[in-house]
């Protein structure tokens, strides 16, 4: 039998728990969730709850638990293979309730990256509910049909909604009264290491001749592989280096020309060494439903690394980066070829001055600080409401609030 529905009626001022529900794994490409949750862990306990994995044997369901050096605790549900979606949701509900029973009395925040987690958390009522919408997941390949309806429910129950880009903000702001724009940010010092002459190029890439034009990130349906193949055929003099895991598409379908180099997944820590010898960067995003609302984190990361880059006309790249002349925009292979010629020839000194001016003040530290302030203000209001709800009522009907204001 599953535990009964649990509401957090008792609170402890010195206990805070942030439970993050993510469709991305912690050990996947290091991006927005990892940046933010690592910073959150300096202020409160953070549990990063991943999507399940499946096994046939052992005591199931169970949680694989791993503490990270950042202070984040990663939990992975292990479920029995072959179970139905309803059985998977029930098992995860059981596991979540067990976790929260150990945190009775804590001020609790649920932080959602995927609305699908409502299937097993919808019975719970945290102190604060946040939807950090970093992508329009319903437009991605293999997206569950239920996703749109669950997002509607999540928007209805969220206290705060954050969006990862301007396009997403415009799409969501009319659906929630507390919607805030937090576009992709950077760890400037990390990527600026690529500018240093002493930055050593990895051996597997050093053997590739110049000019090297690189891409890093997830390689999936958002990459225009036809554009990549056309550019490689058009410009055999350019060596096109692609770094990142291949997901949701068949690796055998990737173009295999001699001047395209698929180097696979590299860790976040390794990226500056690879970028350090690139002569230019390229972002050959397809123009489809999956890219309509993306705000690529790699855009400011390329710039912080001092790598001039050309992109297809993704809305959140065109504005502000294309409009400010910080990124070149090309719609097809011919335009990419011409724009890359410009990037390979132009003097970078003036461009770098404008880049650094644009990036000044951008940081994941600042992003988290502003998010955290909103979270704490919302948590404070939730605490006042709880005091109002639990205060004894006088005969005249006025609540005794011990000086607290009505909210």
Give per-residue pLDDT as tens, 184-210.
899 999 999 999 988 899 999 999 999
DSSP 216-227: ES-BSTTB-HHH
d(CA 364, CA 368): 6
Query: Using one digit for the tens of pLDDT, what is the confidence trace for 52-106?
Result: 999 988 788 999 999 999 999 999 999 999 999 999 999 999 999 999 999 999 9
Banded pLDDT at 8 (limits 50, 70, 90) = very low
CATH of 12-185+364-390, one of 3.30.70.60, 3.10.580.10, 3.30.460.10, 3.40.50.2000: 3.40.50.2000
Query: Using one digit for the tens of pLDDT, what is the confidence trace for 17-48?
Result: 999 999 999 999 999 999 999 999 999 999 99
Residue 53: the pLDDT is: 96
Residue 63: the pLDDT is: 97
Give percent of the chain with pLDDT exceeding 90: 82
Q: Is the peptide bond before 320 cis (omega within 30 degrees of 0)?
A: yes
**Cα angle, residue 367 at apex, residues 184 and 159 outer, rounded to 5°:** 100
Query: Using one digit for the tens of pLDDT, what is the confidence trace for 124-155?
Result: 999 999 999 998 888 887 878 899 999 999 99
Residue 391: the pLDDT is: 59
Residue 392: the pLDDT is: 62
Banded pLDDT at 405 (limits 50, 70, 90) = very low
Secondary structure class of 212 (helix, strand, coil): strand
CATH of domain 189-359: 3.40.50.2000
- Residue ranges, comma separated, of all CATH 3.40.50.2000 domains in the chain are 12-185+364-390, 189-359
Write b or e for each residue in 3-37: b if 16 or more Cβ atoms lie within 10 A of its Cβ, otherwise e: eeeeebeebeeeebbbbbbbbbebebbbbbbbbbb
Mean pLDDT of 280-293: 94
Mean pLDDT of the chain, nearest integer: 90
pTM over 0.75: yes
Side-by-side strand order, sheet with 309-311: 260-264, 239-243, 212-216, 280-283, 309-311, 328-329
Residue 4: the pLDDT is: 32
Q: Which two tokens stand for residue 130?
A: 């946040």
Residue 390: the pLDDT is: 58
Give percent of the chain with pLDDT exceeding 70: 91
Mean pLDDT of 378-384: 82
Q: Does 167 score more than 70 pLDDT?
A: yes
d(CA 402, CA 26): 44
Residue 396: the pLDDT is: 44
Q: Does 394 score more than 60 pLDDT?
A: no
What is the separation, in whole angstroms, between the first and last Cα of the chain? Answer: 38
């Amino acid at each position: 039998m599953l535990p009964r529905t649990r509401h957090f009626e008792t609170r402890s001022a010195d206990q805070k728990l942030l439970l993050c529900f993510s469709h991305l794994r912690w050990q996947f490409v290091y991006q927005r969730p990892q940046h933010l949750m690592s910073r959150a862990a300096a202020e409160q306990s953070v549990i990063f709850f991943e999507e399940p994995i499946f096994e046939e044997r052992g005591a199931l369901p169970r949680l694989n638990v791993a503490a990270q050096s950042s202070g984040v605790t990663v939990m992975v549900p292990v479920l029995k293979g072959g179970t139905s979606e309803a059985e998977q949701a029930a098992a995860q509900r059981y596991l979540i309730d067990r976790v929260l029973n150990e945190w009775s009395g804590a001020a609790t925040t649920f932080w959602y990256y995927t609305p699908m987690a409502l299937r097993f958390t919808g019975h719970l009522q945290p102190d604060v509910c946040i939807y950090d919408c970093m992508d329009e997941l319903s437009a991605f390949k293999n997206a569950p049909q239920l996703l749109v309806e669950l997002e509607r429910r999540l928007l209805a129950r969220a206290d705060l909604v954050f969006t990862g880009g301007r396009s997403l903000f415009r799409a969501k702001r009319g659906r929630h009264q507390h919607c805030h724009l937090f576009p992709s940010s950077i760890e400037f010092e990390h990527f600026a290491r690529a500018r240093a002459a002493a930055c050593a190029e990895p051996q597997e890439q050093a053997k590739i001749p110049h000019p090297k034009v690189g891409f890093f990130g997830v390689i999936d349906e958002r990459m225009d592989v036809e554009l990549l193949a056309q550019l490689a055929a058009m410009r055999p003099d350019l060596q096109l280096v692609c770094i990142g895991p291949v997901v949701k598409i068949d690796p055998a379908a990737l173009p295999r020309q001699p001047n395209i180099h698929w180097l696979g997944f590299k860790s976040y820590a390794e990226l500056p060494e690879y970028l350090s010898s690139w002569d230019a960067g390229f972002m050959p995003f397809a123009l489809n439903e999956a890219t309509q609302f993306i705000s690529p984190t790699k855009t400011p990361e390329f710039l912080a690394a001092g790598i001039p880059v050309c992109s297809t006309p993704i809305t959140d790249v065109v504005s502000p980066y294309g409009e400010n002349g910080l990124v070149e925009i090309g719609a097809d292979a011919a335009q990419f070829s011409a724009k890359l010629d410009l990037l390979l020839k132009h003097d970078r000194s003036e461009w770098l001055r404008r880049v650094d001016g644009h990036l000044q003040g951008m940081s994941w530290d600042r992003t988290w600080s502003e998010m955290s302030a909103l979270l704490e203000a919302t948590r404070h209001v939730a605490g006042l409401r709880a005091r109002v709800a639990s205060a004894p009522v006088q005969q005249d009907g006025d609540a005794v609030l011990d000086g607290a204001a009505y909210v």
